[in-house]
Copies of this chain bind each other. A is one copy, B any other.
């Protein structure tokens, strides 16, 4: 079974490396030229919890995939949300009727994009709690522990989902089948949707945000909009429990001292954020269902204003 990691940044490098180490037939696909050249020349250098590895995994630009004429059996998606459609387009010649895809991207509703390229039966969705970093082109920093939850999008996909759970779990990725992965996806989006944009705007770590007097009020208001919109999709979030989960992220002994990804994108790297796939989705779904989402609206627009002001790309 050929597994393609579509988007071989930090997290893609983790999954690619661990699956490759476990003996799977893995290829990486990415657009970052320096990263690709470095991996082709010197291999992927990995710091796995302090132990150093060099892994020679084939890596391609998306547009090279058509030329290689290879067929891919399983695609693990790790692009930025806004690059998802372009990536799937580039891989279309490698996708056959049995190709499956597993989407572990942050945010909500990516299956709507994926369904343009393959039948619903072939789509798996999930979340991961793994973290990963890049210390430069070709250099992955894989520190700490994590897990994966996944589920088939359509009933027919369950057997395959269980097979993928096994493959990931055997590679040490701590994967389990989830009977209700949509709940986990929305719950994670609630954490990201309340903390990420706010920290990016305020130039604060999660713990710093958490120490302000207004943090809980800001979070409650945004969270409530996620809950109302999810309800329209017959997903009943336990609002009090999710709030506690968000408040727990403030803990400096946990992830509190980190800048969330949207802050890293915007403030540190001057890149476009994924806000449209987190808070922006709630705004769009709110419009569709006739639910006001002023907090997500203002937050999304302020992030877009900041992106434009700093010339994010």
Would A297 and B221 count as touching, CB distance under 8 A? yes
Chain A contributes a number of interface residues (CB within 8 A of B) equal to 28
- List B contacts of A22 (CB < 8 A): none
Contact residue among B208, B211, B214, B305 (Cβ-Cβ distance under 8 Å from A202): B305
> Is A212 within 8 A of B304, CB to CB?
yes
Specify which chain B residues have a CB less than 8 angstroms from the CB of A209 in the assembled complex. Answer: 305
Is A306 in contact with chain B by the CB < 8 A criterion?
yes
Set of chain B residues within 8 Å of A304, measured between Cβ atoms: 212-214
List chain B residues, Cβ under 8 A from A309: 202-204, 208, 212
Return chain B residues, CB-CB under 8 Å to A301: 214, 217-218
> What is the CB-to-nearest-CB distance from A306 to chain B, in angstroms, rounded to a whole number?
6
Chain A contact residues: over half helix, strand or loop, or mixed? Answer: helix
Contact with B along A174-205 (1 / 0, CB 8 A): 00000000000000000000000010011110
Contact partners of A215 in chain B: CB under 8 A: 305
- Decide if A269 is an interface residue (CB 8 Å cutoff): no
How far apart are the CA atoms of A209 and B209 in the complex, in Å?
A: 24
| A54 CB-CB contact with B under 8 Å | no
Determine if A160 is an interface residue (Cβ-Cβ < 8 Å). Answer: no
Asked if A294 is at the interface of the complex by the 8 Å CB criterion, the answer is yes
A154 at the interface (CB under 8 A from B): no
A302 contacts B by Cβ under 8 Å: yes
Q: How far is the CB of A254 from chain B (nearest CB, A)?
A: 20
Give A219 Cβ to nearest chain B Cβ, in Å.
10
Which B residues are CB-close (under 8 A) to A214?
301-302, 304-305, 308
* CB-CB under 8 A for A308 and B213, given A294-B294, A298-B299: yes
Given A308-B213, A309-B208 in contact, is the A218-B295 Cβ separation under 8 Å? no
Contacts from A to B (Cβ < 8 Å): 198, 201-204, 208-209, 211-215, 217-218, 221, 292, 294-295, 297-299, 301-302, 304-306, 308-309
